[in-house]
Structure 1
């Protein structure tokens, strides 16, 4: 029983991986990689804060929210680029993304104190 469930999960994962590698554009894969990087970075920052302490807590919050915020903005960018029915060009989506990231980084920098 358990082996059939594991086999089914492996088959599902293999099908998902195969479709992702065949049907996804390279630019979208790079965006996905950047999202993963930001989430891993936020996890490392959180673990470091738990181990080393949170003395400059506003610095931790600023860096953590900057990583999470960049990941969220990048997910929004991916949704805009993949959705062809929105009527926006890819160039406009990337310009809006850069503008929002700039605002996020300015707010994060000001929060440092």
Structure 2
């Protein structure tokens, strides 16, 4: 079972992602902010991450940079309601696999994870 790290400061988003990804056959590790996310990344060795951008403390962009500094090929999917503040191109150039806007279409999450893992459900 593939492990997915979900980092979002909104409990309802974490719950939605947890329920959906669990139904898709993934083990879900949840984190409430970037620092918690980095600690869980180091502790649990997930195979991909879905990160919010706007979070207190360490934001998703900083977390992405820390993760990709450790593993340049690690699959990161960014989700945010505030993408207008950021450059999608910068995220993609930094190694992020996908940048999705909230409210996120869960089918896009599934499609991106299938592309990352080379699977079809």
Same fold (TM over 0.5): no
Greater RCO structure (CA 8 Å; 6+ sep):
1
Relative to its length, the structure with more strand (as a share) is 2
Q: Is the radius of gyration larger for structure 1 or structure 2?
A: 1
TM-score with structure 1 length normalisation?
0.31
Relative to its length, the structure with more helix (as a share) is 1
TM-score with structure 2 length normalisation?
0.30
